[in-house]
Structure 1
Amino acid sequence: MTASQRYQEHVPDFMDPKIHLEHRDDGSQLLTSEVSLGLHDRCSGEWLEHWAREAPDRLWLSERDDQGSWRQLTYGEGRHRVIAIATWLLEQNLSPERPLVILSENSIEHALLMTAAMHIGVPPCSISPGSSLMSKDHVKLKGQIQLLKPGLIYADPIEAYRPALNNIADSHDAIVVAGSRSNETKDATPFAELERRRDESAVMGAFSAITPETIAKFLFTSGSVNTPKAVPNTQRMLCSNQKAKELVWPLLTKEPPVMLDWLPWSHTFGGNHNFNIVLRWGGTLYLDDGKPTPALIEKTARNLKEVSPTVYFSVPRAYDMLVPLLRKDETLRKAFFAQLKVIFYAAAALPNHLWQALEEMARETSGQDIMITSSWGSTETAPICTDCHFPAVRSGVIGVPIPGTTLKLVPCADKLEVRVKGPNVFQGYWKQPELTEQAFDDEGFYMIGDAVEFVDPERPEMGLLFDGRVGEDFKLLTGTWVHVGSLRMAGLEALNPVGLDIVVTGHDRDTIGFLIFPNIGECRRLCPDLPDDASVAELIAHPIIVDHVRKAMRTLKAKGGSSTYPARAMLLEEPPSLEAGEITDKAYINQRQVLTRRAELVEALYAERHDDRVITQ
């Protein structure tokens, strides 16, 4: 029996791809689903109303309290608290012109406030905590506040956000609310004040006025060089996304999903895709206080020993850290795979060695093949445009268009640039008409800036492969195109387990170079002769690590021409900086920002007389 046959036997509840491809005279192609989207819900608040009525005692949200126990909230309790909070919000003169800004990590209180605002047509905007907690000048945050002009700012705990609040004080006239985790509430309204009374009639009156075109929330793009753009996400965008998900993932209708998730609600992956899947299908969301960082991944492992998810969503960096823990801890491995039906990755392709490891451990632990899948989209599409709702032939397959969405594939250099149109696509950036005009082509397709290729041009139903950002690719001085996305993936495979991530250099140079962010834990494991307190500089200069990199470079060279391998490489001592925009909230490397911020290292990499940091073949 093949892996595909085993998959079909154990996990049959996905829609077969049904695709129509149209070739146009101008060389572009239109790719659509043959499945009609049909009607979708009016607004996301209908989901909370439904489950609070049909399953009031079902667990909705759970988070760790100060003692490490799980604090729990049912759908019935959640709706009761949402009505109270919404009652207070109605009295604060809030609107899309005076929205709610949330400065907080994911929490039950964060979810209640966000949901209550959306219940009465007031857009919330969860801003990345990094903009407040990791910045010294808060320039990005100030720009975001000046653009939104909020009527209410929630901060939790407020003392952690005091430096940020002080720096933006002259940029707004908003009421400030201190979250319940705050130790002091000076000059702020305690969150408890928001729940002192309930006016259900007034709240439901506002709720009934919501339409699919109502702005549900604002999300900022993850741009890092300039002030990020504010994207209005309408109820139509959110609800059409979940309707499409229902059609391509019928398994969601079979049993309420159970999820453990760390992905931030300031980003569309965690805040729209994952949060809304749980709410739409009456599932349970455990808030993971861990993250894919060396300091916090053990918390994720601890939580997974107690929570066996039915679907697991994360990014490749997280799986890179989780796989070694799964291998060595049988208790963790059994708990992780006990109920798991789907492993989902996004933000970047999953390296093949991680894919194989997850498949092997799933088969050994549960006796079944696991569905490993992905999708593709952006903040501007809320987020899904494509979904791989079928067994992929390899990592990097982003699937086919979801029902209701049309992709336009446009030849660009030697790639296919992809553009999008559908009910999931935004209408324009908030108060930035020039950027809005630049974002759409003359047929109204959103120009997302990504490239794709067919797995098999003769069989479009096999899906598309993500082919990198159009703006990331470059030419060598020889005129040869370098495809950064595919080269990065190949490099990570060759460098495994030493490389955590790679930035590709070589624009207007003769040769390609790699700036390598090392996997410190794996590097230490490979160098047992070094003391535990050896510095990172000592570690990355160790002959075992340097030799590993050199061998990886030779492996890549043996596979192809000058555009497929690095002639030189450098292991970086400093990790990617969230504050400087080198890495996003979802742990994805911003190639351009790293190259800009570390321009001196790029020059050192290509210096005629290079120092000992530069590794050559």
Structure 2
Amino acid sequence: MQRTSEYLVHSVSREDRADGSILLKSKHTLGPVVDKTGVWLHAWASDAPDRTFIAERSGAGWRKESYAATLEKVRAIASSLLARGMGSETPILIMSGNGVDHGLLSLAAQYIGVPTAPVAEQYALIHGAHGRLRHAIELVRPKMAYVVDADQYREALELDALQGVEIVASRKGGNSQVTAFDELLKGDASVNLKAAYEQVGPDSVAKILMTSGSTSAPKGVITTQRMMCVNQTMLADALPFLRTRPPRVVDWLPWNHVFGGSHNFNMMLANGGSFYIDDGKPVAGLFERTLENLSMVTGTLSFNVPVGYGMLLGALQRDGDLRRRFFEELDLIFYAGASLPQDIWSGFEQMALDVKGEIPLMTSSWGLTETAPATMMQSEPIDRSGVVGVPMNGVTLKLIPDEDMRCEMRIKGPNVMPGYFNEPGKTASVFDEEGFFITGDAMRFIDPQDVNKGMKFDGRISEDFKLLTGTWVRAAQLRMDLLTCLSPLASDLVITGADRIEIGVMVFPDVAELKREGFDLSDDSGAYRCKLLQGEIHRRLAERARELSGSSTRVGRAIVLSEPASMPEGEMTAKGNLNFRKILTRRQNLLERLYDDADPAIVKI
């Protein structure tokens, strides 16, 4: 089975320490690292001035900016920011999603050391989510805020928290108080742009990235030039083909998240690649736009979440021409966010073989907003999903194993954040006495006798709990198992049972999928259909329980939730992840009902 891509062979050292902890490091040497993102921009504007750097849909085609044009516009915007007195203490809040102007503004700010703080566009567009937006504004205290369309974002722009903040919009509409983005493009020759650029270095703050807020209020992760630049060296060391030919992506992953906005965006910039912004998404009603974009341009790299690959696989199976074009130059299929189902993995492998007789590197990695993000990667080809690999060059992992060899993960390296923005107490709490960042994530070795086989993610330490019997429940892994068991009936679920006698599960039904399966809960016979749904959940969980011997994974009861998770109430993050603690607190009455055997809504196994 051939693979088209070059890769870095795993070579990891292991140190077993007297205190029981384990240190892992790559034996490979970290490659050269530039001081700031502006170095990449200048280099490619010189070496490949006419190559497309960034593009977005415009009418029937694309608005494209070459490397030379990007540098020219970045320098103009940067001089306009300087003329406004902006610097390291005057962040820019970016409230819109991915776009060319968003990218130009971000690079211009980085060029002169002005931090940007991109936030999820849902926070501004959804009235009920304005609390999250206010939190970000009050934390960051920006001097400028950017939106793509002033009319579309009008309600958010009228928030009291933005009073006194200059608003910039690509389309200002009828709002005379808004600065047109084109005004920034005019530049200002009175400032010393060269001096401002030269004072930017590895420790300069490039971004303040908000965490998802899945366990607490979102924190602002200080992201330095060093973090971003060293992370791209780590990635290119692990994926040598990035340096062989300029990469190209058609990518939708949001730039307010570290993966889309730092990992993918900077991967194109660092390696002279081309970033085509996909304005579709892997959801009903928007995925068709992704397919339209891919019919026009395909990438040499593919990044997506598992649900996106599931939708894409079906589309490629139906469209032979798109299938051929998708695979013809493809070097990499990269999944993140969750483990890729093995049937989807195998489907892409077989399709690649059928199209060109070779398989691109199929892989994943692991990291966090606080680690820039990439920290571990599976750079060697494998034939299965779920493996996140070994430490990347320059990183040291500290593993703290329990009696079952489940390892708490801690990290030290140049890609790790210096701290949380304006929160010294929280910063101090996440570094141990040796300076390792305490991630809260757990890992397991694929083969404890061979560290080069890599590791797999094994949930969040904080999500684990004990039953009254003293039995530990590994909630993250159990949740994934149950989602498989209840597919496609459940869109998501919450594991319960802390300080109780048995495990329970609160099920968020997948209403659209249920309707296709014959469980339409919205029609006149909804109550009857709900009973049928409860019966099917009972059947599946009971069948699963018969195959289990221990209480740590056996579910004893379930309840189906009629109200979906609420983003305005903080039950769901902008990524679509559940905030389990918030759900259990807000729905305390339902949690109590779940453990009431007399309640008719309870599915008792």
Same-fold status (TM-score > 0.5): yes
- 2: distance between equivalents of 1:142 and 1:360? 48
> Do 2:214 and 2:578's aligned partners in 1 also have CA atoms closer than 8 Å?
no
Matched, 1:550 2:543: no
Identify if the C-alpha distance between structure 1 residues 578 and 368 changes in structure 2 by more than 3 Å, giving closer, same or farther. Answer: farther
- 1: distance between equivalents of 2:493 and 2:348? 22
> Do 2:82 and 2:191's aligned partners in 1 also have CA atoms closer than 8 Å?
no
Q: Which residue of 83, 98, 103 maps to 1:111? A: 103
Q: Does the residue aligned with 2:153 lie in a helix, a strand or coil?
A: helix
Alpha-carbon displacement from aligned partner over 1:531-552 (angstroms, at most 9, x marks no partner) = 9x85996797373785267325
Shift of 1:68: 4.3
State the match for 1:24 in structure 2: 17
Identify if the C-alpha distance between structure 1 residues 538 and 371 changes in structure 2 by more than 3 Å, giving closer, same or farther. Answer: farther
> Do 2:282 and 2:308's aligned partners in 1 also have CA atoms closer than 8 Å?
yes
Q: Which residue of 559, 572, 586 maps to 1:583? A: 572
Q: Does the residue aligned with 2:571 lie in a helix, a strand or coil?
A: coil
> Do 1:399 and 1:464's aligned partners in 2 also have CA atoms closer than 8 Å?
yes
- 1: distance between equivalents of 2:94 and 2:288? 27
Matched, 1:615 2:600: no
Counterpart amino acid of residue 615 in structure 1 = V
- 2: distance between equivalents of 1:235 and 1:250? 22
- 2: distance between equivalents of 1:580 and 1:299? 30
Matched, 1:220 2:210: yes
- 2: distance between equivalents of 1:540 and 1:28? 52
Q: Which residue of 333, 339, 345 maps to 2:335? A: 345
Matched, 1:190 2:183: no
Q: Percent identity?
A: 41
> Do 2:13 and 2:27's aligned partners in 1 also have CA atoms closer than 8 Å?
yes
> Do 1:553 and 1:565's aligned partners in 2 also have CA atoms closer than 8 Å?
no
Alpha-carbon displacement from aligned partner over 1:106-144 (angstroms, at most 9, x marks no partner) = 110100001111011111111111222224372322222
Identify if the C-alpha distance between structure 1 residues 393 and 325 changes in structure 2 by more than 3 Å, giving closer, same or farther. Answer: closer
Identify if the C-alpha distance between structure 1 residues 14 and 539 changes in structure 2 by more than 3 Å, giving closer, same or farther. Answer: farther
Shift of 1:289: 1.3
Matched, 1:154 2:143: no
- 1: distance between equivalents of 2:49 and 2:474? 51
TM-score (norm 1): 0.91
- 2: distance between equivalents of 1:539 and 1:334? 47
State the match for 2:249 in structure 1: 259
- 2: distance between equivalents of 1:549 and 1:351? 24
Identify if the C-alpha distance between structure 1 residues 416 and 42 changes in structure 2 by more than 3 Å, giving closer, same or farther. Answer: same
Larger deviation, residues 575-584 vs 33-42: 575-584
> Do 1:130 and 1:578's aligned partners in 2 also have CA atoms closer than 8 Å?
no
Larger deviation, residues 11-20 vs 338-347: 338-347
State the match for 1:286 in structure 2: 276
Larger deviation, residues 314-323 vs 398-407: 314-323
Identify if the C-alpha distance between structure 1 residues 291 and 543 changes in structure 2 by more than 3 Å, giving closer, same or farther. Answer: same
Larger deviation, residues 87-96 vs 190-199: 190-199
Q: Does the residue aligned with 2:463 lie in a helix, a strand or coil?
A: coil
> Do 2:479 and 2:495's aligned partners in 1 also have CA atoms closer than 8 Å?
yes
Counterpart amino acid of residue 404 in structure 1 = G
Shift of 1:162: 2.5
Larger deviation, residues 14-23 vs 479-488: 479-488
Larger deviation, residues 399-408 vs 38-47: 38-47
Matched, 1:33 2:26: yes
State the match for 2:166 in structure 1: 175
State the match for 2:266 in structure 1: 276
Counterpart amino acid of residue 64 in structure 2 = Q
Matched, 1:418 2:409: yes
Identify if the C-alpha distance between structure 1 residues 265 and 413 changes in structure 2 by more than 3 Å, giving closer, same or farther. Answer: farther
Counterpart amino acid of residue 603 in structure 2 = I
Q: Does the residue aligned with 2:388 lie in a helix, a strand or coil?
A: strand
Q: Does the residue aligned with 1:104 lie in a helix, a strand or coil?
A: coil
Shift of 1:395: 2.6
Shift of 1:516: 3.1
Alpha-carbon displacement from aligned partner over 1:359-405 (angstroms, at most 9, x marks no partner) = 34434444433432111111111111111111346432111111111
Q: Please show how residues 482-521 of structure 1 align to structure 2 within 5 Å.
A: 482-521=473-512
Q: Does the residue aligned with 1:300 lie in a helix, a strand or coil?
A: helix
- 1: distance between equivalents of 2:448 and 2:55? 45
State the match for 1:434 in structure 2: 425
- 2: distance between equivalents of 1:349 and 1:432? 33
> Do 1:130 and 1:579's aligned partners in 2 also have CA atoms closer than 8 Å?
no
Matched, 1:72 2:36: no
State the match for 1:593 in structure 2: 582
Counterpart amino acid of residue 176 in structure 1 = I
Shift of 1:584: 3.2
Shift of 1:596: 3.0
State the match for 1:3 in structure 2: none
Q: Which residue of 558, 563, 567 maps to 1:569? A: 558
Larger deviation, residues 333-342 vs 100-109: 333-342
Matched, 1:524 2:515: yes
Alpha-carbon displacement from aligned partner over 1:543-565 (angstroms, at most 9, x marks no partner) = 37852673255236414422223
Counterpart amino acid of residue 173 in structure 1 = G
Q: Does the residue aligned with 1:601 lie in a helix, a strand or coil?
A: helix
> Do 2:334 and 2:364's aligned partners in 1 also have CA atoms closer than 8 Å?
yes
Unmatched 5+ stretches in structure 1: 1-5
- 2: distance between equivalents of 1:43 and 1:539? 62
State the match for 1:358 in structure 2: 348
> Do 2:172 and 2:179's aligned partners in 1 also have CA atoms closer than 8 Å?
no
RMSD after superposition: 2.6
Alpha-carbon displacement from aligned partner over 1:89-110 (angstroms, at most 9, x marks no partner) = 1111122321111111111010
> Do 1:150 and 1:172's aligned partners in 2 also have CA atoms closer than 8 Å?
no
Identify if the C-alpha distance between structure 1 residues 586 and 140 changes in structure 2 by more than 3 Å, giving closer, same or farther. Answer: closer
Matched, 1:230 2:214: no
- 1: distance between equivalents of 2:304 and 2:202? 29
Identify if the C-alpha distance between structure 1 residues 112 and 316 changes in structure 2 by more than 3 Å, giving closer, same or farther. Answer: same
State the match for 1:46 in structure 2: 39
Q: Does the residue aligned with 2:389 lie in a helix, a strand or coil?
A: strand
Counterpart amino acid of residue 155 in structure 2 = P
Counterpart amino acid of residue 27 in structure 2 = E
Count residues in correspondence: 604
- 2: distance between equivalents of 1:452 and 1:536? 46
Matched, 1:480 2:471: yes
Q: Does the residue aligned with 2:146 lie in a helix, a strand or coil?
A: strand
Shift of 1:309: 1.9
State the match for 2:365 in structure 1: 375
Alpha-carbon displacement from aligned partner over 1:41-84 (angstroms, at most 9, x marks no partner) = 1111111111111111111112122x343222211211111111
Shift of 1:29: 0.7
- 2: distance between equivalents of 1:492 and 1:212? 43
Counterpart amino acid of residue 116 in structure 1 = A
